[in-house]
Amino acid sequence: MDGQGDNQADDWGPFGRPLFNDPAAKALSRVGVVDVGSNSVRLVVFDGAARSPAYFYNEKVMCGLGTDLAETGHLHPEGRDRALKAIRRFQRLGETMGIAPLTAVATAAVREATDGPAFRDEVRDQIGLDLYVIDGEEEARLSAQGVLLGWPNASGLVCDIGGSSMELARLADGAVGQTITSTLGPLRLKSLDGGKKALTRHIAETIGDLRDQIGGVGERLFLVGGSWRAIARIDMHRRNYPLSVLHEYRMTREDVLATVKFISNADIPALRTEVGLSESRMALVPLASLVLKELVGTFEPPEIAISSYGIREGMLFEQMPGPLRMCDPLIEACRFAEAKDARIPGFGRLLTTFVKPLFPGITPARRRIIKAACLLHDVSWRAHPDYRHELVFDYATRANLGGLTHQERVYIGVALLHRYKNSRSNSRFGPMFEMLSDEDLQQAEVLGKAMRFGAMLSTRAPDEMATLDWSPEDKTLSLQLTPEARDLFGEVVEARFGALASAIGADTVAITAS
């Protein structure tokens, strides 16, 4: 099934042939990265479809290496001990996973501390791990590449905030341009003398200098870093936002200003408990929020997007061969999921062809989302039939998928829900349905019922068994069956075709057999 039509040059459509089975992609199927930051030390092991990686293992220790660095010039003693223990553990984990040596980088705290070189030597001599200390511009470049992992061809300004520094990078048509660094990390700002007036003046002057160096006023802003994600989580809490996925979460300037004010008026310990942040992370949020307020006021971005992908994902992107970088991360991830979990790998591609006539005139962006839904239509078949519709919605809205908005997640979720269930009334997902327009909800329902019908009509190739045609002008839905498909068009299949006709709003239904 998976190999049908492989010799046709255009058979795979605009997304090209899947690359996750290519040797170059398989070499990246499990990659371990250690990120030694000013506030945290983290191990991430990537696994799965290399263009849109899953997190096989993810562990973070809030060490605070950069605490008091501005006053002492040294790494924090307790933080240093904790970091060494964490790195030692991570190296041993890498050995047990068969992926040692790990790729390890250190950022602002280690590069600026007078005892940073000694710390790096200690990591090498005692643990056996080479720790690469990168400068601020390289940190900005890698973070921007992490954004490109999730947003191919992205353009705008990437802002990565750590504990001791804040970096900016320009993106234009999927390439990293100018990069600059600053000292606007919240750990460093804590030590600034002169009170709040001096603090706000320092932030404003520094961001003004950054604007003069890099430009980017009025462009889309991508936010990378734990403090930004914490603020986004608080924004979700303030707005009672129904979807908790941080990646691709969008805010306006007005949202940011409202949330900064919300934070300034909040009982911080109570708020920390309500949103589920660690004490060490929450301690940096008030300072980071002041930086963000000035950032959006100075650069005036029309849209602000949270990226969960940053320096670690940028390091993975760095290792990818060119053809893999050019692949669509959403489509590659969906293809990988289908190949791994579907009953009939390859069926989703043919199902996409089968349902295509129902969506005349749609944009390439929407056609891409329909393709993704068709690829995922059967990956949860092992679940109990009574709960498949819920499981597939949860999968679409919460899975680690890059390259799609929250609204597109919900669209795919609604389509997959209707792949297994006729009605979505009285659903616990109701608040998320409200994220879509009535038109998109109806279109997603049509897609789901078309997938359900196509999957029932054939277990091999629905596009070879029947042809759909939809005329929106006279509201006529036509089905042309091949001789082989006549006996397959039984009572249940006929009922599901009727449900599709009802969803699309057909006044006339024509069923013919050749």
In a domain, 357, yes or no: yes
> How many independent structural domains does the chain possess?
3
CA distance 319 to 272: 37
In a domain, 80, yes or no: yes
Boundary residue ending a domain (133, 165, 185):
133
Boundary residue ending a domain (100, 133, 166):
133
In a domain, 371, yes or no: yes
Boundary residue ending a domain (133, 151, 185):
133
In a domain, 406, yes or no: yes
Q: Looking at the structure, do residues 165 and 121 belong to the same domain, yes or no?
A: no
Query: pLDDT (tens digit, 9 = 90+) per residue, 451-487?
Result: 999 998 877 788 888 899 999 999 999 999 988 888 8
In a domain, 182, yes or no: yes
Q: Is the pLDDT of residue 407 over 60?
A: yes
CATH number at residue 36: 3.30.420.40
Q: Looking at the structure, do residues 302 and 378 belong to the same domain, yes or no?
A: no
Q: Assign 370 to helix, strand or coil.
A: helix
Q: Looking at the structure, do residues 180 and 113 belong to the same domain, yes or no?
A: no
CATH number at residue 405: 1.10.3210.10
Confidence of residue 358 (pLDDT cuts 50, 70, 90): very high
Per-chain mean pLDDT for the chain = 91
Confidence of residue 425 (pLDDT cuts 50, 70, 90): very high
Q: Looking at the structure, do residues 428 and 343 belong to the same domain, yes or no?
A: yes
Q: Looking at the structure, do residues 40 and 80 belong to the same domain, yes or no?
A: yes
Q: Looking at the structure, do residues 148 and 284 belong to the same domain, yes or no?
A: yes
CA distance 30 to 43: 13
pLDDT at site 59: 96
CA distance 136 to 143: 11
In a domain, 10, yes or no: no
Residues 100-108: what's their mean pLDDT? Answer: 90
| Residue found under tokens 């941080």 | 246
Q: For the beta carbon of residue 67, count every other beta carbon within 10 angstroms.
A: 24
Q: Looking at the structure, do residues 260 and 366 belong to the same domain, yes or no?
A: no
Q: Looking at the structure, do residues 123 and 157 belong to the same domain, yes or no?
A: no
Q: Looking at the structure, do residues 282 and 414 belong to the same domain, yes or no?
A: no
Which helix (H) or strand (E) segment is 103 a member of?
Answer: strand 103-106
Q: Looking at the structure, do residues 365 and 419 belong to the same domain, yes or no?
A: yes
Radius of gyration of the chain measured on its C-alpha atoms:
25
**Which structural domain, as residue segments, surrounds residue 490?**
328-513
pLDDT at site 317: 87
Q: Is the pLDDT of residue 10 over 70?
A: no
Distances (CA, A) of 494 to 7, 252, 265, 479, 499: 34, 47, 60, 11, 9
pLDDT at site 2: 36
Q: Looking at the structure, do residues 129 and 142 belong to the same domain, yes or no?
A: no
The pTM for the full model equals 0.90
In a domain, 7, yes or no: no
Q: Looking at the structure, do residues 74 and 184 belong to the same domain, yes or no?
A: no
Q: Counting Cβ atoms within 10 Å, is residue 478 exposed (0-12), middle (13-18) or buried (19+)?
A: middle
